Chain A
């Protein structure tokens, strides 16, 4: 690519930009807000992750040392990473499928009942402190529902410390997370299912769709691909950003750090120790992981209906 050629390109682009200046003006409000409130903070955080910053003194450049410390010296981070990945690998896909399955089932109901069922299924994820119920169920004394059931029926002889025992913590958190997960994605799927053009089904029937599964795979899913993508993003973000339930159910920090996640680690370093550079590094790692999973998921979803 020669210099003159490049010049020519720049000129052409500039000309085009002048031509569509109205479009840029219309785009500006959103774009400015997006830049200041989303893109800039993210980039800022990435930049801060290479510094040592404690909110009082000005940040001092330290290069990769935050990352080195994170992956080598920070055992708790490795535990958190392990927990988060396990969490995402198990609850992410299951909750995504559950969302779709429930949406699909609810969609079959008559309108009035559908509205009620939607509310019932959606309720857990909007109710504020649902942890109370789960704390009752998995209470460590013999009055907790789970313990009293097991002891009454002779499965166990003594109360199990559900929320203090490192063996059970993660599993319980996963169960609670699954229960909470019928959220935004679920609503999006219902909307998507409503939007599928009924004529497509008729066309499919004529063209030789043999059963419900084929109908689902070749017509319903491709027709609601935008909602599927949106749901995937939401669900991945929520399964990677698990922190609230961990802190509320098993305490913060949890016993032996067995239920710590990346986000709780982040909260620890960011809001308790104010090591902003270090917590920015944690956030950047989390961001990178989420971005990668999102890309992979989108690639997979593109294959839907093929």
Chain B
């Protein structure tokens, strides 16, 4: 209990920084811990409506930057659209067009880079297309199609236009997906519907309920998209405001399938890990996404006001921003856009645009990613090395250097870097190539050694067989007894009980050896199968996980079998249980050695060995329990299952006892305080 409290404290210490000041940017390590990182982006300037000289902005909702750097902004509350040039000077305010027609709460805006601005005129349920100088082009009204259900309400909020001038519109409350319009304004259908999530149990209830009941149940409908952007490669990025989703950001190909890669430590979903601490709980909720060079993309999280940038494989590159009242923070960020290297963030409630420019660290990362994706290995390695000088905890940089080394064929060095970068997949690849090199250069030696070993084993077996030939009964010594028991459990346990072949000393030695072997396994097993965090290694834990269950099992089994007229003494139970642990002892060391020469797809053998050891152990434990207590097989199975139940009860009582003790102690302390304050 005390340790639990302590770990809880630790966790709180490790949790996501609740109020990130600008200096508190982080990346996630392989183990899901936020690791402090240098700041990738810094504020380059802020501008509100007064600064822009157009009067205060009223709940602006969207901002878009065209390829040529022109910025368009939807000033929803003032029913107008602002057009700005690269330097953030307002070149035009569009609030009237086409003989006094006006917008009504436009929430989305998009500049197609060919001089046309598309406005999602939300209140009027239409899309308005105007030129940069404010001349009216056309409007696209509500879609009419048999595809639409009768209750469909068209409220366009966000839109994007691709190179072929097809218009993609996100409509509020439209769970069918994104509406796609042809360039001439014809409604074409929906693309990229989100998948419905439900669990089998709900479905079963729905299946067996009547129609009236069914109509009163909550409906399973797909979630609606809340924003979209066209990436540089012409694919559509979308965001969905869903709690605890692994795909809040999607990248849709022309047929509407999600093709976003998720090869990082975690899916690209913003904050991860222990999210139930701090003032704002739960997963990140993305409200906007923006494409970037070389397949990178950034998502804007409205819950904590952070911006997460990922590369094309889904590795989190960096994170910045946050909620707060400082200039560099936001109150309610709603839109994000890239202007070259710079990031523009629009804040709805303050009505302010924040420009963030990459710091040295940020631009080095970007340089490395861009170079790597363009195949400029040397340049990217150089950039990664500089990144590592600024942040030695940056795993992606190690992996990046590893990839370039692998390209050059320096496999051994690549192995080291992938290990530092915690990238098991690539480590496995590099290791495979290195292993091939080694085997190729020493093939003769390896074959010779193998032949010698095989000959030696054959000779030993022959010689051992000859020595034992013709003996019907073999005398087994104390030390050999555990090994004998492994192979002949019935005889072995019988001799242990009735011929005093077992020794408590040996049993305890087995237990101790198992702890040692487990520690060795944890420390030295190959990187491909070793998922233990070196920062959290603690031999005491291993001791806890071996000795405590062992003691609990023995005590529980003894207390149970005394009631169920088992013949075993406590001593015998301890011995039988310890002797049953032998398979682990025999298998673990070779397994650990073996795990150091395997690649990822050979790891299945490693796990097979684990399974084998476990099955063997259970078999021995079963036979041991049966022999020690002289039970029938069925009664043995029942006893073993009941023992597990008893262990559960014992643990419960132990926890209860400790928490009571804590209560009592704190009570005594408070009484003492009370008295000491009084007198």
Task: Spell out A's residues near B (CB within 8 Å).
Answer: 64, 67-68, 71-73, 75, 79, 82, 85-86, 89-90, 153-155, 157-158, 211, 213, 306
Contact = CB atoms under 8 A, between A and B. Distances in A.
Given A73-B440, A213-B633, A157 B608 contact: no
Interface in B191-245: 195-200, 202-204
Given A72-B440, A213-B633, A154 B198 contact: yes
B642 interface: no
A153 B203 contact: yes
Interface string B599-611: 0011011001000
The list of the 8 closest CB pairs from A to B, nearest first, reads A154-B203, A154-B200, A72-B440, A72-B439, A68-B443, A157-B195, A153-B200, A155-B200
Contact of A86 (B195, B202, B488, B604): B604
25 contacts: A64-B447, A67-B447, A71-B439, A71-B443, A72-B439, A72-B440, A73-B440, A75-B432, A82-B601, A82-B604, A85-B605, A86-B604, A86-B605, A89-B608, A90-B608, A153-B203, A153-B204, A154-B198, A154-B200, A154-B202, A157-B195, A157-B196, A158-B195, A211-B632, A213-B633
B281 interface: no
Given A73-B436, A73-B440, A82-B602, A154 B199 contact: yes
Nearest to B446: A71
A153 B204 CA distance: 7
Chain B interface secondary structure, helix, strand, loop or mixed? helix
Interface of B: 195-200, 202-204, 432, 436, 439-440, 443, 447, 488, 601-602, 604-605, 608, 632-633
Contacts of A82: 601-602, 604-605
A149 to B, nearest CB: 11
A165 to B, nearest CB: 15
Given A68-B443, A211-B632, A157 B197 contact: yes
A157 B197 CA distance: 8
A157 B200 CA distance: 11
A71 B444 CA distance: 12
Contact of B436 (A72, A89, A154, A211): A72
B202 A72 contact: no
Contacts of A79: 601
Contacts of B604: 82, 86
B28 to A, nearest CB: 26
B192 to A, nearest CB: 14
Contacts of B204: 153
Contacts of B633: 211, 213
Contacts of B203: 153-154
Nearest to B441: A72
A56 B583 CA distance: 54
Contact of A72 (B200, B443, B488, B632): B443
Nearest to B604: A86
A211 B632 CA distance: 9
Contacts of A85: 605
Nearest to B203: A154
Nearest to A256: B601
B50 to A, nearest CB: 50
